[in-house]
Structure formats: structure tokens, C-alpha cells
Homo-oligomer: A and B are copies of this chain.
Amino acid sequence: MTEATAPSYTLADIVADGCFVPQPDLAAMLERLGTKKNLVLQGPPGTGKTWLAKRLAYALIGDPPERARERVRVVQFHPSYAYEDFVRGYRPKGREGLDLVDGILLEAVQAATAEGDRPFVLVIEEINRGNPAQIFGETLTLLEHDKRERSEAIELAYRRFDGERVYLPPNLYVIGTMNLADRSLALVDLALRRRFAFVTLTPRFDAAWRAWCAREGRLPEAFLDRVATRIAALNAEIADAPSLGEPFAIGHSYLTPGRGRAVADPEAWFQAIVATEIAPLLEEYWYEDPATARAKAEALVRP
């Protein structure tokens, strides 16, 4: 059978799906994920981190999305998310009292261990919206790529039996996404940081974006030039603003039409997005100085 001779989802498929990141950069990400086992995609909101995280997972597995999805699990961290949800904890069982239940990480460990020759991926969206130090607990140590073997197993806070030891198998990969602008929510934790490789995604109002917008959104070249120029100017101002910086830039997904969604009236489309999405964001950024916020929003849509 030749069924397994070539993977059925590759980096080229990611580009074809509408990714604006060049394919060699995608290859470098995949290489780092393969070696380091744990990767964080970071960047401003609207740069497609979540979208890319899943597709990198499919490409690592090498199966098309609908098939790969069985070996990809997706969670999102948030302030109420706890060690007990992620690793293991006691959970109510009606009249039966409390039961020790494995969280998604230990479930993924079991699945990956059972089928040790195939990669499994755990995607953690918004990894810095929770408190990763608390959520990972002692599995932090196990994440490290050179501790992915039985001899490095440790004992968890809640054990199923005396002496139970746990380790993460080498075929379990973790991809987190991290919004740098929501830094106030993040715990800057060097120990966690050391276990991950980091790749930064940036707003891409470039040729690939223009090509997509022209093809799918039927947007005219001149219009796209103007939008790209003005957003670039705004993003430069944001990057230079004392309390802001590059992580607060406007991502391209605010201004990218979906596949096959032709935009009937480009100017109205742009103005509506600026008025209800970008302008309120700028008012948040320059909260103490609403006149500046308003001027920047107007500069975007000025004819």
C-alpha cells in the first residue's frame, strides 16, 4: 500500500489555505516544534495565531484536518481555569461524592502513550489568560523536551495509587497562542518560558494579503494600497507610543475578507470596521487623550 508514502497535509496546504507567512518560515516553526516539543505563537490580536496553531498541528501529523483533528485537542486558558481542570482533580459524582478525574493534559498523555508512533498535539489558546504556573503545576517540569521519558517521571499532588509516577511522552506536542497586548493577564514566568520555543507573528499587510483581498474580496488595488499605507502608519505610531508598543499593533485579520466573500462597497466596508472596531480600540489605547484617538481614526478613513 502506498497510502502512507506522502503526508496528505503539508506546509504548502497551509499557504494555500490563506496563510500570509512565507513557507520557509513555516518550515522553521515546524522544525522548532519537532525539536523543542513545545511552541508558543505570540503576537498582536488579529494576526491569525489560533488559525496557524491548528494548521501547524495538522502539518505535523500530516493528515488532512478532518482526520488529524482526532489527534488534536484544543483548550483555552482563562482566569477560572485550574490545575484541577487541566491535570487532575476531584470532581462531583452526584450522590457518589467526589471522584478523581484526569484533566485534558493527562487524557492526552494516555492517548499519546497508547499510540506512541504517531504525534498528538495539544493546542492551548490564550495561554497567558490563565495562570500557567498554577494550571500546569508540577507538569511544568515534565514539559521539557529532554524529560520526555519514563525515567524522568515524577509524582503528582493527587495520586491514583501509592507511587504512581507520571511523565509526558515524546510524541505529545504543545502549541500555545499568546496575545502580547494582554500582558497584564500574563504571568511572566521564566521557568515556563524556558520550556517553550517562541515565534512572533506580525500584522501582514503585504503582497500575500493584497493578493488574497483582491482575489477573494474583489477589493481594488488602489484601495488596498491606501489601507495598507495608512494602517502601517498607524501601527508605527502605536509601536512608538510610550505606554503601547509593537504588541498593540492592529492585526491584518480586522481587514481581511473571508474566502469568497466579495465586498460590495469597499469604502463603506472599511469605514464600518474603523468606526466600530478600530476606533473603539484606539479610544481604549489613548484613554486619557480621546482627541488623539479620534484624530487617528479619522486619519484612516479620510478620503
Contacts and interface: CB of A to CB of B under 8 A. Distances in A.
Query: Of A76, A97, A158, A181, which is in contact with the most chain B CB atoms at under 10 Å from its CB?
Result: A76
Please tell me how many copies of the chain the complex holds. Answer: 6
Given A96-B95, A97-B93, A133-B129, A141 B50 contact: yes
A199 B280 CA distance: 8
A146 B73 CA distance: 19
A281 interface: yes
Interface residues of A, number: 84
B140 A78 contact: yes
Interface in A72-120: 73-83, 85, 90-100, 104, 107
B76 A138 contact: yes
Contacts of A45: 190-191, 194
Interface stretch (A4-12, A149-157, A214-222): A149-157
Interface string A173-192: 00000010110010011110
A276 B32 contact: yes
A193 interface: yes
Contacts of A280: 42, 193, 198, 200
Nearest to A156: B75
Given A80-B83, A188-B284, A272-B32, A154 B125 contact: yes
A137 B258 contact: no
A270 interface: no
A22 interface: no
Nearest to A145: B258
Contact of A99 (B73, B94, B141): B94
A36 B93 contact: no
A198 B276 contact: yes
A43 to B, nearest CB: 12
A197 interface: yes
A284 B193 contact: yes
A65 interface: yes
A286 B91 CA distance: 43
A246 interface: yes
Contacts of A65: 151
Contacts of A28: 272, 275
Contacts of A136: 78
A104 B138 CA distance: 14
17 contacts: A50-B141, A50-B147, A65-B151, A74-B154, A75-B155, A78-B136, A80-B157, A94-B98, A94-B99, A146-B258, A182-B189, A190-B248, A193-B281, A193-B284, A194-B281, A197-B277, A200-B280
